[in-house]
Structures are given as C-alpha cells and as structure tokens.
Amino acid sequence: MSDPDVKPSPNEDAPNSPSREFAAYCESEFERRLNSGVDFDEYQYRKSMKLVLDKLARLESEGQA
C-alpha cells in the first residue's frame, strides 16, 4: 500500500501536519482509484504525490506550513 520512496515529513510527530494529512488523503484516494475499476497510471500518481510531499516537508522544516 505504501510506497517506500514516499517519506513522511520530519515533523511527523505533529498529528495534523499538512504532509501527514496529505499523505493520508493520497493513500485513501489511491485505494479508491485502484478499486474503481478505471485504469489510472499508478506510477505517475505516486511520483506526483512524492513531489508534493517533498515540497510540504521542506515548507514544514522551514516553519512555513
């Protein structure tokens, strides 16, 4: 279910950090799409998710998120 390349934010101790909430949303959306019966590009989905999570992690570490 989880992609080993997608790393949680350094602030993962914060229960409602933006990166944690986004990662949870992405995982549920991934499962929804996977079970919908409609084809989608799993690789591109994970790649896009990683890009956003990396950006959120940077912003969180700078105290901007």
Q: Is residue 53 within 8 Å of residue 12, measured between CB atoms? A: no
- Going by pLDDT thresholds of 50, 70 and 90, the confidence category of residue 9 is very low
What pLDDT is stored for residue 11 in this prediction? 47
Q: Is 37 part of a structural domain of the chain?
A: yes
Mean pLDDT of 9-27: 77
pLDDT at residue 5 greater than cutoff 70: no
Q: In the chain, how long is the greatest CA-to-CA distance?
A: 40
Write the pLDDT tens digit of every residue in 22-63: 999 999 999 999 999 999 999 999 999 999 999 999 999 988
Angstrom CA distances, 20 to 38, 51, 54, 65, stand at 27, 14, 12, 12
Q: Is 4 part of a structural domain of the chain?
A: no
**In this structure, what DSSP letter does residue 8 have?**
P
Q: Name the pTM for this structure.
A: 0.67
Q: Where are the alpha helices (DSSP H) in the chain?
A: 18-35, 42-61
Tell me which residue range forms the domain holding 42: 18-61
| Structural domain total, the chain | 1
Q: Is residue 64 within 8 Å of residue 58, measured between CB atoms? A: no
